[in-house]
Amino acid sequence: MAPIDLRSDTVTLPPPDMRRAMAAAELGDDVFGEDPTVNRLEQRAARLTGKEAAVMVASGTMGNLLGILSIARSGQEVITEAGSHVFMSEGGGAATLGGIQLRPLVSDHGVLHPDAVVAAIRPTDDIHQPLTAAICVEDTHNRAGGVVWPLEALAAIRRVADEHGLAVHMDGARVFNAAVALGRPVAEIAAAADTVTFCLSKGLACPVGSVLCGSAEVIARARRWRKMVGGGWRQAGILAAAGLWALEHMIERLAEDHANAQTLAEGLAELPGIEIDLGTVQTNIVRFRLLDRDPRAFVADCRTRGLLGGAQGAAGVRFVTHYGIEATDVQRALEVCSDVLAA
């Protein structure tokens, strides 16, 4: 039997109809701006997020990097959350390639408090300090367990940014999960941000791709950065076709992943030796702590029984539900966890 793979929603495979759409895609050279399918995806992404323009990129990491490089300059600082993906898991790209310093702030489950952000903004009249250029938010927040930013919290960050002349970048790798959880259009969520990246290759099941959206001016800068980091691609319409198909067919079904994550979390909460904050399980990510076990050993024992997950830090484990995971898989996953904990 194939293992139940809950390591990430990045493991999703393209559905047969998505593959057919890819095979049928009309293509051109995207570096010349001549791939009609890429152009269509970028227009669609801009419309969906309520922005003027968009650029398709290889990954969420590239989208965040180009977004930050396009709204901040060398020597400036970007405020972000201490557990955010840009700060923890993107190789220090903004510092390496842009000379931009990230300023991590501790938060309440990934949601930055506006007062903490205000307190972190650098004074402009002190020549010792770098200047603050932007604020980065992550919605949904991965390390917090797929937590959705309340719209009021986003609006509060927007107000702070406007009061201090700062830009806002949203790492919306899973912003469609946030939109489905809130029952609101993505544009309403992205309204708080100047630039927003979303991923096609996670819950939306595309093989490759993310899109960075923003004003025409900022996206023009991002295109220059994309070319510089080797991200100018040619007949990328074959990938954009997957994205267009996904935006049409894969968003609403994310609710199934959320329901499966909920069932999984509630089942795990019943098991001895597991500590889980059910309040953080709002989308498709389930994070929990093991009270008396090494998470790596737990994950290895699950693997031998056909369940894949991820160990995180000293006590944490992460499971992610996604396209291809059914309610019956969740029941089997719970049985495996129960067996491993009882062994």
Q: Which amino acid would we find at residue 303?
A: R
CA distance 89 to 337: 28
Task: Select 85 or 223, whichever has its Cβ closest to ligand TLP.
Answer: 85
Q: How far is the CB of 64 from ligand TLP (least distance, A)?
A: 6
Q: How far is the CB of 170 from ligand TLP (least distance, A)?
A: 10
Task: Select 235 or 312, whichever has its Cβ closest to ligand TLP.
Answer: 312
Percent of the chain that is helix, strand, coil (3-state, to 5): 45, 20, 35
CA distance 203 to 217: 30
Give the CB-nearest residue to ligand TLP.
Answer: 60
Report the interhelical angle of 175-182 vs 254-269 (nearest 10°): 80
User: 256: which residues sit within 8 A by CB, 6+ positions away?
Assistant: none
Q: How far is the CB of 280 from ligand TLP (least distance, A)?
A: 15
CB atoms under 10 Å from CB of 61, counted, come to: 20
Task: Select 59 or 107, whichever has its Cβ closest to ligand TLP.
Answer: 59
Q: How far is the CB of 125 from ligand TLP (least distance, A)?
A: 35
Q: How far is the CB of 312 from ligand TLP (least distance, A)?
A: 10
Task: Select 110 or 267, whichever has its Cβ closest to ligand TLP.
Answer: 110
Q: What is the CA radius of gyration of the chain?
A: 20
Task: Select 8 or 282, whichever has its Cβ closest to ligand TLP.
Answer: 8
Q: How far is the CB of 128 from ligand TLP (least distance, A)?
A: 32
The answer to whether residues 264 and 332 touch, using CB atoms and an 8 Å cutoff, is no
Task: Select 53 or 175, whichever has its Cβ closest to ligand TLP.
Answer: 175
Report the interhelical angle of 36-49 vs 237-249 (nearest 10°): 40
- Which residues in this chain contact ligand TLP in the complex, by CB under 6 A? 8, 10, 59-61, 64, 85, 89, 138, 142, 171, 173, 199, 201, 210
